[in-house]
């Protein structure tokens, strides 16, 4: 018998690519389970699927940085911290220190839907009842006819997993000026923030303040402690946009609205910024 659950959850995370660097992504999860009927005449109760399987996904990949462990990277683990260092693209650099739970180690040389799917299947199936014989997972982005951008960030003030210094989202954006949609501005902002790291200015530090990683010339550096532990980051400045505010979606939408307002001071600005799939913030200026 086959059981399916579409739209089980959304994985909001970042992954490291040797060409693009850290890439913020949001994938919808569709799940299929194959097995024998249990004593309740079910493969598995839908409530358990939604609770147990979603928990495994949330505790592994979601809100983490997925690292391809077979790629050309430097990675080490010591006590409660992991340290990651790599080159990407045309001579760009990233180095990061974070608690173990902020990183997903993927046994592959690239991160994509296939390698994350295999990683999740290997984690989930052994934790399901014996009558469940097989599992299939489909990871898919939200269908969109609009422009979108991939961004990564960390929210040190967040009590949950958003505090992890490199996690991210694939996000669409809507901009209106005096009630008229502005596709040109949609495209401009998505090009500006494609594969970007959004850094809060108050989290920016000098390279000398980094304890566990070493910055390279031209890196922008960040360091903070939050409830999950110590986080440090150094990344090539070309891939970082420093904002004068926290990088919550509420303040991201407000930042965009205020920037556009500078160019159109006599107009009414509306910005709809998404944080992944089906959620976000609306700001007016």
Round to whole Å and give the CA distance between 118 and 21. Answer: 22
The answer for residues whose C-beta is within 8 angstroms of residue 43's C-beta and 6 or more apart is 1, 2, 3, 33, 34, 35, 36, 37, 131, 132
CB distance 265 to 239 below 8 Å: no
What pLDDT shows up at residue 36? 87
Residue where the block lists tokens 């693209």:
89
| Exposed/middle/buried for residue 41 (C-beta within 10 Å: 0-12, 13-18, 19+) | exposed
Q: Confirm or reject CATH 3.40.50.720 for domain 2-284, answering yes or no.
A: no
Q: What is the pLDDT along the chain (285 residues), one digit of tens a residue?
A: 888 889 999 999 999 999 999 999 999 999 988 888 887 877 777 787 888 888 999 899 999 999 999 999 999 998 899 999 999 999 999 999 999 999 999 999 999 999 999 999 999 999 888 888 889 999 999 988 889 999 999 999 999 999 999 999 999 999 999 999 999 999 999 999 999 999 999 999 999 999 999 999 999 999 999 999 999 999 999 999 999 999 999 999 999 999 999 999 999 999 999 999 999 999 999
What pLDDT shows up at residue 265? 97
Kindly report the length of the chain: 285
Q: How far from 55 is each of 109, 123, 214, CA to CA, in Å?
A: 26, 11, 35
Domain boundaries, the chain: 2-284
What's the predicted TM-score (pTM) here?
A: 0.95
What pLDDT shows up at residue 42? 75
CB distance 101 to 231 below 8 Å: no
Round to whole Å and give the CA distance between 175 and 184. Answer: 9
The answer for residues whose C-beta is within 8 angstroms of residue 209's C-beta and 6 or more apart is 221, 223
The three-class DSSP label of residue 189 is helix
């Amino acid at each position: 018998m086959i059981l399916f659950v579409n739209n089980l959850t959304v994985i909001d995370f970042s992954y490291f690519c040797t060409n693009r660097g850290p890439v913020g992504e949001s994938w919808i999860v569709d799940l299929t389970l194959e097995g024998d009927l249990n004593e309740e005449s079910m493969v598995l109760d839908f409530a358990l699927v939604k609770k147990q399987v979603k928990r495994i996904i949330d505790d592994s990949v979601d809100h983490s940085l997925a690292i391809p462990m077979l790629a050309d990277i430097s990675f080490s683990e010591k006590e409660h911290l992991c340290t990651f260092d790599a080159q990407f693209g045309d001579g760009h650099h990233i180095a990061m220190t974070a608690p173990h739970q902020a990183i997903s180690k993927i046994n592959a040389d690239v991160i994509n839907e296939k390698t994350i799917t295999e990683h999740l299947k290997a984690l989930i199936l052994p934790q399901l009842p014996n009558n469940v014989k097989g599992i299939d997972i489909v990871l898919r982005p939200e269908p969109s006819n609009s422009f979108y951008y991939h961004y990564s960030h960390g929210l040190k003030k967040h009590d949950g997993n958003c505090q992890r210094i490199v996690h991210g989202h694939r996000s669409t954006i809507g901009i209106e000026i005096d009630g008229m949609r502005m596709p040109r501005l949609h495209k401009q902002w998505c090009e500006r923030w494609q594969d970007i790291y959004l850094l809060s200015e108050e989290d920016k530090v000098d390279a000398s303040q980094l304890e566990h990683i070493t910055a390279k010339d031209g890196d922008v550096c960040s360091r903070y402690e939050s409830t999950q532990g110590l986080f440090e980051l150094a990344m090539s400045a070309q891939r970082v946009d420093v904002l004068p505010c926290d990088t919550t979606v509420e303040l991201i939408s407000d930042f965009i609205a205020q920037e556009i307002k500078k160019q159109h001071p006599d107009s009414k600005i509306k910005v709809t910024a998404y944080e992944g799939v089906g959620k976000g913030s609306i700001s007016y200026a």
